Structure 1
Amino acid sequence: MNIPDSDIIRRSSALIGFSGEVKHTVGDIRLPIYIEGINTMQKFCVIDIASSYNVILGRPWIHELKAVPSTYHQCVKIPSPWGIIKITDDQQGAKDCYATELKPSKIQEEA
């Protein structure tokens, strides 16, 4: 994401994946998030692994924005001074990310 290392607050913590694997973070970083007129600063954990995702937004972000996620409707609704903002899914984008994640990287192929 072209973020300078100097912006990362060095702190290691363990993250446990869905399959039980443990990854350690490099540190934390605070980045601005902009969604249809709403600006916030959010803290993210930085992990040094190849991934098809740029970020994963979790409970702190959901709570701060009073967001209501719906996995069934594949959207998130957020109250704003201008009314309800609805962020919808991108099924093709999700499929592309999943397919990319399943492909072995060149580093893995060489090993």
Structure 2
Amino acid sequence: MTTLTSDKVITFDSDDRDSIQDPPRDGLVITLYIANYFVRRILVDNGSSVNIIQLETLKRMNIPQMEITSKSTVLVGFSGEAKNTVGEITLPVYVEGVNSIQRFCVMDSLSCYNTILGRPWIHDMKAIP
């Protein structure tokens, strides 16, 4: 795993604000390489205590279901609904020269995001969203 150095800084400038409402109401949705696949619609959510990836996303990445560790966990959403996970999987995540290995809870449910990167990933990146 590569560590962050002081010369690697990812920032946004005023040009990045052109299509954003003021005050911003949109979540931070990004695209990254996960397990050597270009994954779109990734929500960076500092309110999430886990990283989440959709089972359908793993299928589209051609990752066999046997790679998922069977471990059902109950996750409680913002509205209070509880959902069980299918299991867990560990995948590499690449961000601008930094590789990290992340554990994801696998969900088999509809979502407008392919992946949610929560506090475990945010803290590993030493990022402030």
Tell me whether 1:12 sits opposite 2:69 in the alignment. Answer: no
Q: How much has 1:57 moved relative to structure 2?
A: 0.6
State the partner residue of 1:31: 91
* Deviation digits for residues 69-92 of structure 1 (CA, Å, limit 9, x no counterpart): 1xxxxxxxxxxxxxxxxxxxxxxx
Tell me whether 1:55 sits opposite 2:115 in the alignment. Answer: yes
Per the normalisation by structure 1, the TM-score is: 0.59
**After the TM superposition, which residues 75-90 of structure 1 pair with which residues of structure 2 at under 5 Å, given as runs?**
none
* Deviation digits for residues 30-89 of structure 1 (CA, Å, limit 9, x no counterpart): 1111111111110000011021211111111111121111xxxxxxxxxxxxxxxxxxxx
Select 2:82's aligned residue among 22, 25, 45. Answer: 22
Between structure 1 and structure 2, the one with the greater Rg is 1
CA distance in 1 between partners of 2:110 and 2:122 (Å): 25
Q: How much has 1:9 moved relative to structure 2?
A: 0.5
Which structure carries more relative contact order (alpha carbon 8 Å, separation 6+)? Answer: 2
State the partner residue of 2:50: none
Q: Which consecutive residues of structure 2, in runs of 5 or more, have no partner in the other structure?
A: 1-56
CA distance in 2 between partners of 1:64 and 1:34 (Å): 12
State the partner residue of 1:41: 101
Q: What is the CA RMSD across the aligned residues, in angstroms?
A: 1.0
CA distance in 2 between partners of 1:54 and 1:4 (Å): 17
Q: Which has the higher helix share?
A: 1
Q: Percent identity?
A: 58
Q: Which consecutive residues of structure 1, in runs of 5 or more, have no partner in the other structure?
A: 70-111
CA distance in 2 between partners of 1:45 and 1:53 (Å): 14
Per the normalisation by structure 2, the TM-score is: 0.51
